[in-house]
Amino acid sequence: MQAVRLEQPGTLRIHDVAEPTPPGPGQVLVALSRLGICGTDLHAFHGRQPFFDYPRILGHELAVEILALGEGVEGLRPGQRATVIPYLHCGRCLPCRRGRTNCCADIRVLGIHIDGGMQERFVLPAETLLTHDTLSADALALVETLAIGAHAVARSGATAEDRALVVGAGPIGLGVGVRLRALGTPVLLLDRSTSRLEAARSFGLAEQVVGGDGDAQAIADWFQGEGPTLVFDATGNPASMNRAVDLAAPSATVVFVGLHQGQVEFTDTTFHKKELTLMASRNARREEFAIVLDDLAAGRVDPAPWITHRTSLSKVVDDLPAFTDPTAGVVKAMLDVGQ
């Protein structure tokens, strides 16, 4: 059996590994079908991912096939396809007791804190699987990315009466945008990348997109001169995160979805004058995974335009470094075990 392990920054290797042990009580043996490669994996490859230890088997955007069930597992059967909630939580800490399992005090994320899914077969807790009988493996592997956007939107309390600015048109920003669209919230998308904005247009995502850093007055004019009531920053860029406070309308909510490894600073006078609500959004909960499954099944999200590149277990060692090149035009690279 083969697995792909990130040995250290910049060094990805294929290894022959032992077959997984049979699933124990409450566990399921699965085979990998698809694996989405995301910014977390690319940052880890370059040594810029926090909360990360080497060596590590990457991969947390997963579509799997159930092979065998451990003792006591109910509601699942061999042969089913499933998406995976990759955030293993303790169930005992304060956040877990409050239903905030996405920020468990002892969280372990597949492919980050513990080995992930870039391997042929592995064992998972049964509670992490959400099955679906009609969705494709491609769609199931997109659920985690979309759930992060859905969680950010849920955190914001967005409604159709809001007006949203999404800064950053990568997969997470696009995920925020498609969930806002499903709610009927008008969306303006801002990004420096022409290819990403073209991707947004091809999705029919934004009513309008803005390139470069965006002219503050032009952005305000698009929102009827009053500015956005919701600002989602999905860049992780500190300058962009700082500017979100300036772009938001008075009484608005600002949500930091992207992660920056350092300080974020803004003018407190502006923050107080506008009486803004500022919040972070991390990972997603089971509820958002269920919402995304419904959106995909209902056709509110088409998985096809998201997948711009494909690779396999045997090719990913060579392909993943190329996916980090901004000129490659990657929206979502998908590892397909059938290739």
Q: Give the span between the Cα atoms of 88 and 50, in whole angstroms.
A: 17
Other C-beta atoms lying within 10 Å of the C-beta of residue 296: 22
Segment 87-136, tens digit of pLDDT:
999 999 999 999 999 999 999 999 999 999 999 999 999 999 999 999 99
Q: Which domains does the chain have, with CATH numbers?
A: 2-136+303-336 (3.90.180.10), 149-280 (3.40.50.720)
Segment 19-78, tens digit of pLDDT:
999 999 999 999 999 999 988 888 888 888 777 889 999 999 999 999 999 999 999 999
Which of 17, 30, 8, 35 shows the shortest CA–CA distance to 313? 35
Confidence of residue 330 (pLDDT cuts 50, 70, 90): confident
Residue 18 has pLDDT above 80, yes or no: yes
Give the tokens for residue 210. 């803005």
Segment 238-293, tens digit of pLDDT:
999 999 999 999 999 999 999 888 888 888 999 999 999 999 999 999 999 999 99
User: 274 CB contacts (<8 Å, ≥6 apart)?
Assistant: 245, 248, 249, 250, 251, 252
Q: Give the span between the Cα atoms of 327 and 65, in whole angstroms.
A: 34
Other C-beta atoms lying within 10 Å of the C-beta of residue 95: 16
